[in-house]
Amino acid sequence: MNQHGGDASLLRRLNSAAVLRVLRRSMKAATLTELAQQVQVSRPTVETIMDELLEQGWAEECGQERGQRGRPAKLFRFRASAGSVLGVSVGAYRLQAVGVDLGGQVNQSRKAAIFPDMTLDERLDAIERFIAECSQELGRRPMAVGVGTTGVVDSTGRVVKSSVLPGWSGLPLQDELSGRISAPVVVENDVRLAVLAEQWRGAAVDRMDVLYLFAGNRMSLGMLIGGKPYRGAHSASGEIGEHATGLWQVFGSVMDFATAVEPGELRSPAQAAEFAFGQATAGDARAAEAVTALAVGLAEGLATVVGPFDPEMVIIGGSLASGGALLVEPIQEHLNRACLYPPQVVASGLGNDSVAIGAARLALEHSESDIALANRPDVTIA
């Protein structure tokens, strides 16, 4: 059978993509022979492909294999510094970004203040400027930008509903930012990104079924099911909604404590909790009782989800993560009593970075495909 030139060219590009995919996903050094075995092509074919990837900047030579008889084999690896992505968190009061290279190494962290009463255009302009500043600091256009935002976000990156940011409901945020930014943009709900960050760099590494409680001035649940963040039928998974009274009754104990100690000081529920954490850590018995009551209230709510969901881990995130063992231990004790298979309860260690880190992970997943990377001979990476 005669092989057309186009067929041969396509096969070469597919083989090149396969080699690059192996290098990129493992992030480990490999010899030409090892790559040929994994991709299931001949060693001369891999050698030709590797010469192209080295020239284009997607791979690099990194020494020689030791302990082998005869001439040592050269080792090659994916060049993580060949590009970067940005992860951006959009909140009511703050923009936050992390830049990571293609190997996932964080090489940038940046914050900027914004305000809840901004108009829609003002907020979008601020996000555009912020991403431009981050890109300039990186020294290159990011290969992709992940954006995390509050609200119900559908699979197209449209904010279906938002009670936090004015003008955000109904906004096709992904399309809007894509029209303003030269890099590909992907938008997702902030709490789904937070649980993704925990799986990537936090407490839930190698975990497949995880419940993430974002608790602060608002509450949401992030669910990792089978290793993937769960969206739900209407992309509204984890949205708990507002309490009928406008306040979260579970915070009553810490609100009462904070008011009793400093009657003239106005605090949000999250601020009252953080105040109680500090007082309890300093040895105040009343504060400790208030924090325990908060923990039990949270545990009672969590138990109703833990039972049917059956997660292996529950992560306390948001501002309440600063409570650490003060919250974790009472919650763990309650779930141990209430659940058939009690999950491990931990406090998030990612702090305020969780959403931006999750957005960066999402950007990595949505960066240019391996096939596109391997088949752009016109592009050489600096």
Report d(CA 217, CA 273) in Å as an integer.
10
Residues 345 and 211 in one domain: yes
Residues 74 and 90 in one domain: no
Please report the sign of the dihedral spanned by the C-alpha atoms of residue 354, residue 93, residue 231, residue 346.
positive
Mention every residue, 6+ apart, whose C-beta is less than 8 A from residue 277. Answer: 287, 291, 322, 323, 324, 326
Residues 25 and 122 in one domain: no
How many domains are contained in the chain?
Answer: 3
Residue 74 is part of which domain span?
Answer: 5-78
pLDDT of residue 36: 87
pLDDT of residue 2: 47
pLDDT of residue 89: 96
Report d(CA 219, CA 285) in Å as an integer.
27
pLDDT of residue 255: 94
- Do the domain assignments include residue 88? yes
pLDDT of residue 381: 45
- Do the domain assignments include residue 51? yes
Which of these three, 78, 113, 142, is where a domain ends? 78
- Do the domain assignments include residue 381? no
pLDDT of residue 164: 86
Beta bridge partners of 106: 100
Question: What is the CATH classification number for the domain harbouring 62?
Answer: 1.10.10.10
- Do the domain assignments include residue 378? no
Chain segment 312-342, per-residue pLDDT in tens: 999 999 999 999 999 999 999 999 999 999 9
Residues 337 and 232 in one domain: yes
pLDDT of residue 67: 57
Report d(CA 122, CA 52) in Å as an integer.
45
For the whole prediction, is pTM greater than 0.75? yes
- Do the domain assignments include residue 239? yes
Question: What is the CATH classification number for the domain harbouring 243?
Answer: 3.30.420.40
pLDDT of residue 1: 43
Residues 106 and 213 in one domain: no
Residues 187 and 218 in one domain: no
Report d(CA 358, CA 356) in Å as an integer.
5
List own/partner pairs for 155-159 with CB under 8 A and 24 or more apart: 155/231, 155/235, 157/185, 157/186, 157/187, 157/188, 159/187
pLDDT of residue 370: 42
150: which 2 tokens?
């509050």
Helix%, strand%, coil% for the chain, nearest 5: 45, 20, 35
Q: Which residue's structure tokens are 């992505």?
A: 85
Report d(CA 1, CA 63) in Å as an integer.
42
pLDDT of residue 241: 57
Pairing state between β 228-229 and 185-189: unpaired
Query: CA of 327: how far to CAs of 25, 154, 293, 299, in Å?
Result: 37, 32, 9, 9
- Do the domain assignments include residue 23? yes
Which portions of the chain are predicted below pLDDT 70?
A: 1-7, 66-70, 241-248, 368-382
Residues 143 and 29 in one domain: no
Q: Which amino acid is at 305?
A: V
DSSP state string for 305-351: HHHHH--SEEEEEGGGGGGTHHHHHHHHHHHHHH-SSPPEEEE-SSG
Q: Which amino acid is at 336?
A: N
Pairing state between β 313-317 and 344-347: parallel
Q: Which residue's structure tokens are 């959403």?
A: 355
pLDDT of residue 328: 97
16: which 2 tokens?
């090149």
pLDDT of residue 10: 78
Chain segment 340-358, per-residue pLDDT in tens: 999 999 999 998 899 999 9
Residues 21 and 88 in one domain: no
Chain segment 161-219, per-residue pLDDT in tens: 998 898 999 999 999 999 999 999 999 999 999 999 999 999 999 999 999 999 877 78
Residues 274 and 252 in one domain: yes
- Do the domain assignments include residue 250? yes
Task: Answer for the pair 98, 353: CB distance below 8 angstroms, yes or no.
Answer: yes
DSSP state string for 135-200: HHHHTS--S-EEEEESSEE-TTS-EEE-SSSTT-TTB-HHHHHHTT-SS-EEEEEHHHHHHHHHHH
Which of these three, 78, 104, 136, is where a domain ends? 78
Report d(CA 253, CA 89) in Å as an integer.
31
Residues 106 and 155 in one domain: yes
- Do the domain assignments include residue 304? yes
- Four-CA torsion 327, 332, 337, 341, nearest 10 degrees: 150
Residues 175 and 52 in one domain: no
Q: Which of 337, 351, 258, 255 is nearest to 302 (CA)?
A: 337
Residues 63 and 91 in one domain: no
Which of these three, 40, 55, 78, is where a domain ends? 78
